[in-house]
RNA sequence: GCCCGGGUGGUGAAAUGGCAGACACAGCGGACUUAAAAUCCGCAGACCCGAAAGGGUCGUGCCGGUUCGAGUCCGGCCCCGGGCACCA
């Protein structure tokens, strides 16, 4: 095709070559110079609002491909919503406190603040290089700056006031590598979430806790109001909260009593009681022992006078510790220690033995259970091992004795051998028996949760100081050394800058006398500051509210602004935060609601969790040596191609295998777009644009040449496809495929356009629209082409093109013809054909005729515009 | 063990119950070039028949079902990834 030669002539080539290394810095400089470009408007903008949020990164100093993917998704959406006429808030900030800064300080002797701020600098530069549409000037925050963390302290004080923050001594998770306490959520299978090879130890320490359990019910029920969240995340949170309704029942401890002999009142008055938690109080007539966790307080008490028991329990705990170290706590065999004590079942009056068992969890329920081997698999296994009696009390019906053990009961199950409840339906009996226990003072209904209060104290330096002091001499109402909250006027409690980071244990702040020594705000006497800092998850629990009013110096944010923007319309991030960050945020939002700061209960209406970026089948990691650097990709192919590949290679919720050849392919595609668009830009420029800011006026279909008609048809099909995918299922890969198909069509029509076979108006419509469609995915080259086409105004403020169904309609349809569901041929019919005509045409097709020889057509299935199926005998 | 995902060409993937493999990557053939790169055009699920044009059979993890018609819906399995894991 010699006509194409013009493109390879040297002078043409120079004009038409796609060079992202030139285009991208040019546009970046223009965008960086305009802080208003992506500035969200106020609540009086008259447009519907759209809050598009991506999870804020930790400033490690380097963007990784997971970030690139996350931000490419968010940016495409934000740009699309802008073009759809929304008032978009698209903020960015830094989750800037945390241990890596201290580690870096140890290693390089750089102060954590300096290290963090220079990392932020570097990453902000990378993000700007990617062309992300953040409102930097209006929203950027860094959680390590006092302008931000003072509001952590402020809200913490409000929580102290409300009794939502409190101090208690308890067993806590301690990571010997981090030298700090971890929240339950930060312990993974007994290991530290940051150190996969480091076992978490248990230590008894005084700590600050946030009463997240106050909101346990609400956090659970609220999940039902979030249909825009992935089911997976909701399930994970449900399991984490772990609500279960059951009954507490007191078993009196009978020191002297012997097994099996009915005793009642005197027994109950004996040596204390054991409260057990059960969800199946209806099976209590089948309880044949009581089991205690090895850490149960009564066990400790008894062990003081029973060295045999003490030794056995110590061995049991050591074994569990060892199993945990081997990462095999689940595989440990059930075993128990018989004590000499007995307990009295308050329903039957019977005495049952008390055991200590390794499968009883100390920190769930009451750390004690009634063991019902007839109706619980674990108890069954245990009873089998030690020859404890197995008694069944729930059956499919009263007369049967033919069912497997343990029999866990069905809805229609009835009680047998259960005293006055015999014959009752099991489910109803649960309720009645709980009431009975309550009336008689030995039990009550209760709800327990797996969720524990959130321990927020960290024995680290690089975090928010907890704004509390300990008054050394004490004063009225406060004992010497007692805790005193600072007044709001004392905020912020600044983190001291000059500090030597060492590897010693304990809180680093404790080694800074200027920080520690202070005065009591109430009595003026000497006081010591709290030297622990807050968990960094506090910072990220409410940062998205701060974005709505990031510069406010008198309050965390203005309530009106927050109420206008919230809830977040779309939150996008990795599924690894499904429990930690996303449950803390939901808790914190409710706390702020109850403090009157905001109205809504849920921070995010819709949540999207993107898949991982993998390479050679595995998650990218330094240790595997399969990391692909975004900088490299951008340097080689440009930001547009890198971003667009991240969206093109897989749907966003699936894992994405990074293949550099694919990035090169996208880059080639952009080069084709660039070549074609610039080649015909002079035609486009010669056609007056539609009214600025309005949709491009579609060219009329009539009077077009076939080439023009084909282009218009393809164009409007593409608009429809992309608009639909953006609003619905977010399959950006098929959006981009649709643009590629359109560009292939334009390529096919290239000669026709050159020869004037396509009207200038149509050429203009096609190229202007192509650039608009490309804008959310490849903003740099789109902006460049928009300019070269003579487009007026900022590309990202143009109206998103509207699909014209009429123009997109095919004139001729290809209808597959099947016989008994098997494809025989494809016929072409005019798009406006009547069903009867299509049928006639199908039956007349020569292949069909050949196949029908000697057969009878029983039925003809016609699917409008789709297919014909002949049912034949 | 339980709860989510997923299993389709050499690869990433596409397909409201209606032509399986769009769009790409890698590959192969061709044009251009002294040559290479780049670019452009074309081929491409497997197997069988045919010199070719073309034709046929099979094919979406396995087995069964519903349906005129199943990658898609239903039942029962298998495998891979992720989460939870003695929660009484």
- Which single residue has its CA nearest the C1' atom of nucleotide B17? A863
If you average pLDDT over residues A110-139, what whole number do you get?
96
Query: Nearest Cα to A95, choosing from A121, A56, A55?
Result: A56
**Mean pLDDT across chain A, nearest whole number?**
89
Task: Kindly report the pTM of this predicted structure.
Answer: 0.91
Contact A350, A344 (CB under 8 A): yes
| CA distances (Å), origin A757, targets A211, A705, A716, A753, A762 | 73, 6, 19, 6, 10
Q: How far is the CA of A434 from the C1' of B28 (A)?
A: 77
Indicate the range of A115-119, A227-231, A397-401, A711-715 predicted with least confidence. A397-401
Report the nearest residue to nucleotide B26, CA vs C1'.
A661
Whether CB of A658 is under 7 Å from strand B: the answer is no
Phi, psi dihedral angles at A605 (to 5 degrees): -70, -45
Look at residue A796 in the predicted model and tell me its pLDDT. Answer: 94
Q: A231: Cβ under 7 Å from strand B?
A: yes
CB A126 within 8 A of CB A630: yes
The pLDDT tens digits of the residues spanning A565-586 come to: 999 999 999 888 888 899 999 9
What whole-number distance in Å separates Cα of residue A826 and Cα of residue A828?
A: 7
Above 90 in pLDDT, residue A553?
yes
Shortest CA–C1' contact from A376: which nucleotide?
Answer: B88
**Which 476-505 residues of chain A approach strand B with CB closer than 7 Å?**
none
Supply the pLDDT for residue A132. Answer: 97
Predicted confidence band at A768 (pLDDT cuts at 50, 70, 90)?
very high
pLDDT band at A273 (very low <50, low <70, confident <90, very high): very high
Specify the residue for token string 């939901």.
A586
Residues 6+ apart with CB under 8 A from A697: A690, A765
Interior angle at CA A295, CA A289 and CA A296, nearest 5: 50
Q: Is the CB of A277 under 7 A from strand B?
A: yes
A7 touches strand B (CB under 7 A): yes
Strand partners, A457: A534
Closest CA to the C1' of B3: that residue is: A235
In this prediction, residues A56-84 reach a mean pLDDT of 95
Q: Which of residues 136-195 of A touch strand B (CB under 7 A)?
A: 188-189
Query: Is any atom of nucleic acid chain B found less than 7 Å from the CB of residue A664?
Result: yes
Instruction: Report the distance from CA of residue A671 to the C1' of nucleotide B33 in Å, as an integer.
Output: 21
Interstrand relation of A822-830 and A812-819 (parallel, antiparallel or unpaired):
antiparallel
The whole-number Å distance from A727's CA to B60's C1' is 28
- Provide the pLDDT confidence category of residue A79 given band limits of 50, 70 and 90: very high
pLDDT at A262: 45
Asked if residue A816 has pLDDT above 50, the reply is yes
A852 Cβ nearer than 7 Å to chain B strand: no
A575 touches strand B (CB under 7 A): yes
Question: CB of A358 under 7 A from strand B?
Answer: yes
The tens digit of pLDDT for each residue in A281-339 reads 999 999 999 999 999 999 999 999 999 999 999 999 888 877 766 656 656 788 899 99
Q: How far is the CA of A149 from the C1' of B58 (A)?
A: 67
Cβ of A740 less than 7 A from strand B: yes
Establish whether the CB of A728 is closer than 7 Å to any nucleic acid atom in strand B.
no
Q: Nearest nucleotide (C1') to the CA of residue A814?
A: B19
Among A801, A775, A776, A802, CA closest to A786? A775
> Residue A594 above 90 pLDDT?
yes
A window 614-653: Cβ near strand B (< 7 A): 648-651
Q: Calculate the angstrom distance between C1' of B65 and CA of A214.
A: 50
Closest-lying nucleotide for A4 based on CA to C1': B40
Q: Is the CB of A742 under 7 A from strand B?
A: no
**Shortest CA to C1' contact from A279: nucleotide:** B88
Q: Please list, in sequence order, all residues whose beta carbon lies within 8 angstroms of the beta carbon of residue A485, skipping any fewer than 6 positions away.
A: A157, A160, A161, A467, A468
Q: How far does the CA of A848 sit from the C1' of B53, in Å?
A: 21
Q: Is the pLDDT of residue A260 over 80?
A: no
Which nucleotides along chain B are within 7 A of a protein C-beta? 3-6, 11-15, 18-20, 22-26, 32, 38-41, 56, 68-70, 82-88
| Residue A309: DSSP 8-state | H
pLDDT of residue A326: 62
| C-beta atoms surrounding A624 within 10 Å | 11
What is the tens place of the pLDDT at every residue in A441-477? 999 999 999 998 998 998 889 999 999 999 999 999 9
Q: pLDDT for A504-529, tens place per residue?
A: 767 889 999 999 999 999 999 999 99
- Nucleic strand B near CB of residue A813 (< 7 Å): no
Q: Which residue in A634, A541, A630, A628 sits closest to A582, CA to CA?
A: A541
pLDDT category of residue A2 using cuts at 50, 70 and 90: very low
- The reply to whether A202 Cβ lies less than 7 angstroms from strand B is no
Residue A298's φ and ψ, nearest 5 degrees, are -65, -35
Burial class (CB in 10 A: 0-12, 13-18, 19+), A465: buried
**Please, which pLDDT band fits residue A690 given cuts at 50, 70 and 90?**
low
Task: Report the share of chain A in percent with pLDDT over 90.
Answer: 63
- Is strand B less than 7 A from the beta carbon of A287? no
* Interatomic separation, CA of residue A349 and C1' of nucleotide B60, rounded (Å): 64
DSSP 8-class letter at A421: G
CA angle A431, A433, A437 (to 5 degrees): 120
**A826 three-state secondary structure:** strand
Separation CA A175–CA A191 (nearest Å):
8
A421 CA to B85 C1' distance (Å)? 34
The answer on pLDDT for A160 being more than 90 is yes
**Å: A716 CA to B17 C1':** 27
On the question of pLDDT at A3 being above 50, the answer is no
pLDDT band at A864 (very low <50, low <70, confident <90, very high): confident
For A447, phi then psi, to 5°, come to -120, 130
A222 with A586: CB under 8 angstroms? yes
A8 touches strand B (CB under 7 A): yes
Burial A793-821 (b: 16+ CB within 10 A, else e): eebbebbbbebbeebbeeeebebebbbee
């Amino acid at each position: 095709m010699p006509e194409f030669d013009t493109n390879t002539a040297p002078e043409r080539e120079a004009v038409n070559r796609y060079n992202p290394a030139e285009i991208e810095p040019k546009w970046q400089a223009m965008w960086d110079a305009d802080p208003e470009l992506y500035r969200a408007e106020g609540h009086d903008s008259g447009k519907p609002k759209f809050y598009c949020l991506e999870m804020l990164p930790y400033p490690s100093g380097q963007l990784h491909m997971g970030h690139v993917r996350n931000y490419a998704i968010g940016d495409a959406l934000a740009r699309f919503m802008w073009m759809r006429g929304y008032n978009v808030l698209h903020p960015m900030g830094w989750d800037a406190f945390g241990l890596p800064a201290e580690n870096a300080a140890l290693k390089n002797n750089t102060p954590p603040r300096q290290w963090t701020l220079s990392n932020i600098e570097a990453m902000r530069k990378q993000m700007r290089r990617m062309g992300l549409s953040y409102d930097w000037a209006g929203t950027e925050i860094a959680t390590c700056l006092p302008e931000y963390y003072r509001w952590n302290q402020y809200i913490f004080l409000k929580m102290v006031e409300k009794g939502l923050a409190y101090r208690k001594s308890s067993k806590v998770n301690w990571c010997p590598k981090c030298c700090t306490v971890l929240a339950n959520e930060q312990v993974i299978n007994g290991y530290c979430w940051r150190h996969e090879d480091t076992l978490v130890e248990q230590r008894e320490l005084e700590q600050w806790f946030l009463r997240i359990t106050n909101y346990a019910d609400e956090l659970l029920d609220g999940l039902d109001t979030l249909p825009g969240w992935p089911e997976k995340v909701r399930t994970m949170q449900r399991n984490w909260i772990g609500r279960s309704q059951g009954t507490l029942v007191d078993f009196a401890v009978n020191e002297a009593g012997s097994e099996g002999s009915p005793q009642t009142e005197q027994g109950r008055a004996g040596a204390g009681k054991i409260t057990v938690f059960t969800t199946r109080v209806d099976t209590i007539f089948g309880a044949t022992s009581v089991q205690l966790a090895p850490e149960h307080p009564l066990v400790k008490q008894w062990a003081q006078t029973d060295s045999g028991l003490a030794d056995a329990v110590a061995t049991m705990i050591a074994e569990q510790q060892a199993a945990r170290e081997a990462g095999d706590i689940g595989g440990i065999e059930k075993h128990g220690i018989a004590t000499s004590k007995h307990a009295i079942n308050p329903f039957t009056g019977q005495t049952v033995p008390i055991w200590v068992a390794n499968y009883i969890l100390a920190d769930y329920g009451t750390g004690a259970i009634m063991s019902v081997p007839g109706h619980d698999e674990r108890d069954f296994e245990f009873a089998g091992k030690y020859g404890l009696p197995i008694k069944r009390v729930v059956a499919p019906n009263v007369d049967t004795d033919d069912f497997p053990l343990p029999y866990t009961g069905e809805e229609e199950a009835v009680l047998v051998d259960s005293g006055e409840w015999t014959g009752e339906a099991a489910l109803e009996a649960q309720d009645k028996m709980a009431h009975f226990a309550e009336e008689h003072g030995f039990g009550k209904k209760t709800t327990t949760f797996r969720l524990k209060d959130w321990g927020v104290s960290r024995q680290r330096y690089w975090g928010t100081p907890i704004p509390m002091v300990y008054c050394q001499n004490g004063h009225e109402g406060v004992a010497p050394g007692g805790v005193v909250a600072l007044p709001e006027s004392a905020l912020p409690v600044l983190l001291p800058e000059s500090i030597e980071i060492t590897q010693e244990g304990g809180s680093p702040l404790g080694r800074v006398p200027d920080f520690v020594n202070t005065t009591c705000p109430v009595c003026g006497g000497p006081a010591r500051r709290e030297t622990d800092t807050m968990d960094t998850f506090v910072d990220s629990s409410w940062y998205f509210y701060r974005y709505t009013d990031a510069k406010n110096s008198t309050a965390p944010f203005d309530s009106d602004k927050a109420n206008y923007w919230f809830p977040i319309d779309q939150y996008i991030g990795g599924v690894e935060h499904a429990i930690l960050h996303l449950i803390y945020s939901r808790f914190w939002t409710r706390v702020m609601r109850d403090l009157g700061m905001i109205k809504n209960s849920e921070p995010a209406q819709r949540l999207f969790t993107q898949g991982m970026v993998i390479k050679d089948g595995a998650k990218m990691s330094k240790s595997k040596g399969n990391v692909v650097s975004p900088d490299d990709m951008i340097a080689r192919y440009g930001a547009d191609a890198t971003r667009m590949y991240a969206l093109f290679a897989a749907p966003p919720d699936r894992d994405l295998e990074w293949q550099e050849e694919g990035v090169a392919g996208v880059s080639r595609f952009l080069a084709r777009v660039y070549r074609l668009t610039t080649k015909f830009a002079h035609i486009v420029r010669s056609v007056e644009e539609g009214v600025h800011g309005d949709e491009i006026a579609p060219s009329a279909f009539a009077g077009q040449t076939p080439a023009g008609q084909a282009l218009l048809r393809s164009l409007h099909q593409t608009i429809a496809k992309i608009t639909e995918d953006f609003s619905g299922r977010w399959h950006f890969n098929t959006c981009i495929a649709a643009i590629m198909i359109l560009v292939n069509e334009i390529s096919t029509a290239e000669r026709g356009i050159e020869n004037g076979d396509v009207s200038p108006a149509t050429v203009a419509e096609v190229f202007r629209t192509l650039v608009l469609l490309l804008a959310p995915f490849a903003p740099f080259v789109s902006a460049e082409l928009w300019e070269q086409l003579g487009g007026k105004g900022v590309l990202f403020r143009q109206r998103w093109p509207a699909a014209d169904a009429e123009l997109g309609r095919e004139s001729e349809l290809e209808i597959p013809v099947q016989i008994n569901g098997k494809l025989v041929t494809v016929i072409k019919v005019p798009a406006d054909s009547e069903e009867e005509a299509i049928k006639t045409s199908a039956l007349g097709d020569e292949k069909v005729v050949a196949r029908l020889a000697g057969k009878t057509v029983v039925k003809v299935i016609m699917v409008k515009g789709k297919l014909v199926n002949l049912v034949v005998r």
